[in-house]
Amino acid sequence: MFDVLHKRRESLAKNDRGQVPTGWLDLDEKLGGGMRSGSLVIVGARPSVGKTSAALGMALSAAQAGVPALCMSLEQSQIDIANRRLCAIGRRTHASVGSRRRKL
């Protein structure tokens, strides 16, 4: 318990509010600066509406802010998730990278 209080006191001394950016300015504003550091965020919605893309985007924003992040999916393999992230970074569609015939 004292360790937690000590860490919190240090973060307050650094003026660190413990907010992690989501990558969406409007959402960050509504959340008071972003997600709370150390919190568990669960993204749920209907199939094929962008849950994985949203979660990966939030994890990337956290990582870019220097906050360790973990993204897990019960619907996709690690390779599929890695491919999706690479496609997003490279601005390619997942279907175009998965195809043997690529149009350049």
What is the per-residue pLDDT for 99? 57
Range of the domain at 64: 15-98
Give the pair of three-digit tokens for residue 16: 């660190």
Q: Is residue 34 part of a domain?
A: yes
What is the per-residue pLDDT for 38? 82
Q: Is residue 8 part of a domain?
A: no
Q: Is residue 83 part of a domain?
A: yes
Alpha helices in the chain (DSSP H): 2-13, 25-30, 51-64, 78-90, 94-98
How many structural domains is the chain composed of? 1
Enter the DSSP assignment of 67: -
Q: Is residue 45 part of a domain?
A: yes
Q: Is residue 74 part of a domain?
A: yes
Q: Is residue 64 part of a domain?
A: yes
Give pLDDT < 70 ranges for the chain: 5-17, 94, 97-104
Q: Is residue 60 part of a domain?
A: yes
Select from 14, 15, 13, 62 the least CA-distant residue to 36: 62
What is the per-residue pLDDT for 15? 46
